[in-house]
Structure 1
Amino acid sequence: MNVDDILDECQSKKWESLNISHRGLVLLPARISELVTLKKLLLNNNRLILPPEEILHLDQLEELILDQNQLTVLPDNISSLKHLTYLGVNHNPLSVLPEALGELGELRELWAINCGLISIPASIGKLSKLQKLGLSSNSITTLPPQFGNLKNLQWLNLADNKIEDIPENLKNLQSLVFINLNKNNFKKIPVALTEMPSLQVLLINFNSITSLEDDLILGFSRLIKLDMRQNPLTLRPHHWLGLDFILLGSTETAMDDI
């Protein structure tokens, strides 16, 4: 079935979900904007170049997947998608995310892996309902202080970036359970990570950490896994008896995309 026929059926039957991925689309058909009953739209693995303005009329949309396209910008008015809970823009050459992203107040999951991002907009701190955030394989060097406002964030992947430190107020991420900081530029473990009350798993492989102070270890007593393999710190001090949750040394497979 060609795209026009799919759109005809979608409109006549008032579909709530539409998948037109893997279609080689360079531009979105203008009539996409008429499919106002849609709640889920998959446009991944096409060749979209221009920001898909047509989707901005879909005010019932809850899930939008734009992975694996050629987008360099997202629509400026993406904030009009007030019901959006899931946004995936992985593997697009975006370099930046729009400030308007912070107006997506219902967003629970945001995925922007391998997008050439060099920074994160401060407005991300407005996403008070965000639970999962994937920003691995970018060129991010710093996080805005507003990151600490993500009180409902549970899962965070910042692996394979260029981060050297994190803002102190990241300790305010009261719900964070998992954080992946593999393949960054950390020379020491930030104190803020020891003050997150829900944190259970910290991955910080392939960095430049040379030591782990005893007072920081006390702050990590609630962790079930602290993976520090592939760092200069390789020898386990004698007084670390029983601290089996701390992993040192080398590993063949450092998991970046758990």
Structure 2
Amino acid sequence: MSENVVCTGAVNSLKEVWEKRIKKYNEDLKREKEFQLKLVGIWEERVSLTKLREKVTREDGRVILKIEKEEWKTLPSSLVKLNQLQEWQLHRTGLVKIPEFIGRFQNLIVLDLSRNTISDIPRGIGLLTRLQELILSYNNIKTVPKELSNCASLEKLELAVNRDICDLPQELSNLLKLTHLDLSMNHFTTIPPAVLNMPALEWLDMGSNRLEQLPDTIERMQSLHTLWLQRNKITCLPETISNMKNLGTLVLSNNKLKDIPVYMEEMTNLRFVNFRDNPLKLEVTLPPCESIDEEEERELFGLQFMHTYIQESRRAGNQVNCSTTLPNSINADG
């Protein structure tokens, strides 16, 4: 019996030794595999960085990273070594996200990532205090972070054709230099308060949204000279629109307008309007042109049409005023 005990003890000891050896072997194998994967990752990043360096050009004194129709779903972290870049132009690359380290590119003036599949804007975007143009049209963005308001030098912002953006954070009214804003082809149902309070805004496109009315506070945009509102569901214009003294271009085609209000006669700086494809009540015939050149230049539903319509409407006596009652959050200053 003692021999059996000795034999069993020896077997158990041998088993324990082999289990330890196997465990150590597996751990060594795992570390080796992790090390190899790390080396592969480092190598791939170096290869990617080399490829990116080849895409860097100089134009008009700017250092630009330019990539078109090449697959770059992600950008390697080694890209931070090219922090001298002043402009990114990445189009149709399949890029799915803006890298979190974007804030380290303090020299960026233009960030153009249009026509990709980006779904989020990282909060680090707010670190780009020299950024003047941010172009993110034709992506899958749903929300805009309030940190974007820290981009104090921003002059141009394009978020067109993201489809699902329906609001902007109030903080964006702090973009004191923003003059150009494109929000077309999204899901806005009204002009956001942040936009109404942008002091320098000159050009605004909110075409192809879901606007049904314009706020009375639209007159706040005193610097605005161009307003695109085509392909919405606007049924009436507020009287305060006549206080926009700098407005020169107003596009209202493809809406639900039934009348052109009399007070639009007061908008003496208007140089171009478009009321095409609205269910207007009156049928208006413009007076004949005096020359062929005049006929070619005349827009059928343009400025002359507007004045003729208003005259006909005044004679018919069927003018209807339009005013809107909006939430306090829109009517309040700031």
TM-score by length of 1: 0.85
Change beyond 3 A, Cα 1:221–1:27: same
Tell me what 1:174 maps to.
222
Measure the CA separation in 2 of the matches of 1:173 and 1:80.
27
Q: CA deviation at 1:145?
A: 2.1
Give the letter for the 1:164 counterpart. Answer: E
Report the secondary structure of 2:117's partner residue: coil
Question: What is the CA deviation profile of residues 30-79 of structure 1, one whole-angstrom value per residue up to 9, with x for unaligned ones?
Answer: 11122121111112211111332232210110100111111110111210
Are positions 1:162 and 2:162 aligned together? no
Q: Distance in 1 between matches of 2:168 and 2:211?
A: 12
Of residues 81, 91, 105, the one that matches 2:152 is: 105
| Other structure's SS at 1:34 match | helix
1:113-192 map, 5 Å = 113-116=160-163, 117-192=165-240
* 8 Å CA contact retained: 1:228, 1:247: no
The letter of the residue matching 1:22 is K
* Cα contact 1:226–1:247 (8 A) shared by 2: no
Question: How many residue pairs end up in the alignment?
Answer: 246
Distance 2:49 2:152 in 1: 33
For residue 5 of structure 1, what is the aligned residue in structure 2? Answer: 50
Match of 1:42 among 89, 100, 106: 89
Q: What are the residue-to-residue correspondences of 1:1-258 with 2, within 5 Å?
A: 4-8=49-53, 16-116=63-163, 117-214=165-262, 216-233=263-280, 235=282, 244=304, 246=306
Which consecutive residues of structure 2, in runs of 5 or more, have no partner in the other structure? 1-46, 289-301, 310-334
Bigger proportion of residues as helix: 2
After superposition, what is the alpha-carbon deviation per residue over 1:133-186, rounded to whole angstroms, capped at 9, x for unaligned? 111111111222232222211111100000122333321212211100001111
Q: Report the secondary structure of 1:244's partner residue.
A: helix
Residues 204-239 of structure 1: per-residue CA shift (max 9 Å, x gap): 01111111222x223323211221110111635699
Equivalent pair of 1:48/1:71 in contact (CA under 8 Å): yes
Equivalent position SS for 1:246 = helix
Deviation of 1:26 (Å): 0.8
Q: C-alpha separation between the residues in 1 aligned to 2:307 and 2:135?
A: 32
> Displacement of 1:244 after TM fit?
0.7
Could you say which structure has the greater relative contact order, defined with CA pairs below 8 angstroms and 6 or more residues apart?
A: 1
One-letter code aligned to 1:97: V
Alpha-carbon distance between aligned partners in 2 of 1:92 and 1:21, rounded to the nearest angstrom? 15
User: Judging changes above 3 Å, is the alpha-carbon distance between structure 1 residues 9 and 160 closer, same or farther for their aligned structure 2 residues?
Assistant: closer
Match of 2:19 in 1: none
Identical-residue share of aligned pairs (%) = 27
Secondary structure (helix, strand or coil) at the match of 2:123 reads coil
Structure 2 distance, partners of 1:247, 1:80, is 49
Secondary structure of residue in 2 paired with 1:192: helix
Instruction: Read off the aligned partner of 2:94 and give its amino acid letter.
Output: R
Once residues 103 and 226 of structure 1 are traced to their aligned partners in structure 2, the CA distance between those partners, rounded to angstroms, is 35
Q: Bigger shift: 234-243 or 34-43? A: 234-243
Shift of 1:112: 0.6
Q: Do 1:79 and 1:103's aligned partners in 2 also have CA atoms closer than 8 Å?
A: yes
Aligned CA distance change for structure 1 residues 189 and 239 (closer, same or farther; 3 Å): farther
Residues in 1 aligned to 2:84 and 2:306: alpha-carbon distance in whole angstroms = 50
The answer for unaligned runs of 5 or more in structure 1 is 250-258
Residue 217 to residue 100, structure 1, CA distance change in 2 (3 Å):
same
Aligned CA-pair RMSD: 2.9
Q: Which moved more, 1:165-174 or 1:101-110?
A: 165-174
Report deviation, 1:245: 5.7
2:250 partner letter: L
Distance 2:234 2:287 in 1: 22
